[in-house]
Structures are given as structure tokens and as C-alpha cells.
Structure 1
């Protein structure tokens, strides 16, 4: 295995004396290096946009977004996937994250798992991957065998394939229809890709999932109208969202929230169109789940 050409493995010339720096110096240089990440992502916005369109297309066909990765990359995929449920009211299966070695690898590295191409194929087969799904392989190095195996299997079943890597001309890009390559430069701690590379991956995944959810009607204005009120804080947030969207009082928001069976989007349409729950539900169906279309 030759890692010489990987930017993620190179030494950062600014930090060759990292162990001699003061805490203040370490934090300042980390901050300065982190500031490079959004600028690197900006260069890949066109590719990210392409992938967003493909995710939306998949969702509209009843397909799923599946992240696959190992180590930090796999954990970030799972993090983005699980956050979609409370934020956008998605079903847990709509956005999924698979990590080499299974969920045990969230806490402790599973030896050899990321080096197995067949393991990813087994994992994807287990969730019934099909041609309506989109698989996004995540690897900072851009060469993880687990990810490559998963992308090969995705091609076999006809699923759409995209990747997120932190090296240019990444190996995994060769297995994707829509590669995203965000090169953020050498880490302050040589090879520790949980730093800038991990930050870049997290920001890209934020973009992919958020823009895609907006594209299927999960947002009205800039409000999370499909938020799931799973705790006291989120119940209050749901009511505030209704108030913000309709300019109604807290009392009206609370009343309609209950009448709508705690469905924020439905309550908003009820208020804005002065409709019953049943009529508002019909308007949402006609509007394909978009509040703006339903009220117009």
C-alpha cells in the first residue's frame, strides 16, 4: 500500500514542532487550518449539487440514501443519517449509515473490517439495496476497500453511486458516477483525518441531506415543518414553528398543534388556509407535501 501521494497522509510544514507549541499556539493554528475547509468545499459545489439532485430523484421514486464508510467516515455517515429522523421526520430506513464492522465499530475499531470489500456487499444486500437507492461512499483517503466493495455492489444492482473523498484523483472516485473530492491539505497532526478531513465530510453531508430534504418539501421558508416532537423542548419548538410560519398566537398554535395530531406541517396549512384537518391534509397531498404549494 503506497500512501505517498495522499494529501491526507502528508506532514503539515506549519506544525513540525507541534509538541513544542503552547496551548494557545496549538489552538490558533488549528483554527487557522480549519478555516481552509469551507473554501475547499466551495470548489466542489457543482459536484455536490449534482448529488443533491440525484438524492431528491431517488426519494421521489421511494428510494433511500445510504452512506457507507469506515472509521471516522462511517461514523459521520451514521450521525447524518440518524439526525434526519428528528429533524425532518423521515422514517429511519430512508437515510441510513453503514460502517465497516457494524455498530460495534461506532465505539471501537473492528480489526480488518475496512479492508474487506465483500463485507460491504453483505451489508448492502442485508438492507435490500435496489436500483431506486443512492449509495454515497465516504473515505478521507479515497481508497478504503470496504467502500469500493460497496460501490461495486451498488453498480451491480443498478443503484446510483456517489463518493466523498479528501484527496484528488481518489481511487473511490473511479467507482462513482458522481464523485466529490474536497482536498483540505495536510492535517496539523499527520494522518489524523478526524480533523480537517472529518470536518469537510461533515459539512458536505450536511449539505447533501439538508438540501435534499428541502427539495422534497420538508422545509417551509426556513422552518423545520416536519420536526418530530420527541421531547419537551421539541414540543415547544414545534409550537414556535407554527407561530413563526403563521404569525398566530401561542394559544392558537397550541390548539392547532393538538388538532393536527402533533403534525406541525398540517397545523400550519390548517391555519393559513383556514381549513379543517381533513381538508388541510388533502391540500398537502395535492401539494406533494410542500406547504407553499398546499397553501397556494
Structure 2
């Protein structure tokens, strides 16, 4: 588990208090006034140092994990391992495929690591990489360089096809918040993304949800744990074009159908990523004049 510094937590709290898309201090106080059983879907959740310090508790002592290392992946096995795992469920070679995928966690220095590069659709500039650390309330940020980037594991990837996949953090949040997905914005009662509305989703940490599922209210997610505000989430929203390496998102509305538009945006004032159904309406409602939101493109890179 990654621990947050006191300075980072303080800065995050200030950002949340002044943000247009984060709950205010009053909202958090109202949420935490509820009984714990009514605002926690997971009783034995993993508590970060950020959570402990917000509750007035001392930080956890450092943990030593035997044989822990930076998760890596061999460039030549990027498509092969996931294809075997996806295609050979009835094949006796399946245990071998699983062993190859698991070897990402212990492979040697010659192997490569997968990251997510974030590029502005406005001017083509590289904004950075998906961060391995949470920003404000369990939402993912943009890391300026590769040192702060998240290394990525991919479930259900099949070569050349835009099928739903799960993206998993290999060097950031631990289970049950190690999958990357979208979480309904705190102020919205509806879980849908609809053109003409300013609704949005945070990109944050969570547990895995079924492929093509509608929003899951009870799914553990980092935003709900950090704030005490229970919100629905989905992890299986991602598609990867294995030819261009572009990563796109498709939110599934409550009726089980994909939203007509699922656009990824960078919200600079909080340094968080969001998914919106109408970028113009979102910017009109939540945009900050000094730091306008930026439409972004995500790409899988191997270094």
C-alpha cells in the first residue's frame, strides 16, 4: 500500500474544499455523521495512512513484503499471455498461461513495464502518465514523469479487438481498490451519462465489476471509503486497440446500454481525471476559468 505524506494529505484536503467537483467539508461531515454500517459496503476494508490521519489516528508502521519488486511485463508477451488466458479456458495449457501472466510480478530486468500515457486532444501535448497515487479522494491523478507513473496489468485483452478489459494497478493501491474504473460524481443521484447534462464520473480505484455490467452500487471503491459517500462504480469500461495502443472508455448506463458519449477529461484544478457524457455542459457547470478542463487521449506504452 502506498502511504501519503502529511503535506500531500493537507494539500488534497484544501483542494477538495475549494473544488467544484469534490464534496465540501460540510458534505463530508454530513456523510460521516451517518452510522458506519450504512456507509460501508466492506467491513474489513484496507485503511490507508491518509484515511487514518483524517480520523486523527497515527500512521501505520512500514510493512516488509518478502520478494516484493516492481511488477514488469515482457514486451514480447504483451498480447500472447492475455490471449492464452482469454482463449484457452478449456485448454490444458491454461495453467501455463496463468503462470506466464503471474511472472510479470517477478520477471527480470530485461522485461518491460506498461504505463498509460495521457495526451491532450486539444494540442497533442503529452500531459504525463496515469499516477500510481490517488489525488484527492481516491481519484487518480496525472504524474509528470515516469517515476510517479502506475504500472498496468490488463485482464481479458484479445489482440486487435475493442473488447471490454480491466486495468489493474500493479504498483499502487492494493486490493480491493486496485482496479481502475469510473465512480459516479458525488452530487448526482443518477448513475447515467447523458448528452445535455453535466454529469461526470471520477476515474479512481475500486474492486472489479463484471464485464458490461450496469453501475454497481455495492462495489467497494476508494472514493466512497475516503468520503463516506457511497457511489456506484464500474471497472470494465475500458477498450484497448492493440494496433494503435489507444485506450478508450465506455460507461454502461443503468439500463444496461453504453452511454451515447463517454469522454475522458483532465480536470487540472484538482489534478484528477473524469469521464463525462457532454464535455461542453460539464465545462459550463464545473469548469475553472484559469485552468479549463482538457479532453484527453490515453495510450498504452511499454518502456
TM-score, normalised via structure 2 length? 0.22
Structure number with the higher helix fraction is: 1
Whose Rg is larger?
Answer: 1
Structure number with the higher strand fraction is: 2
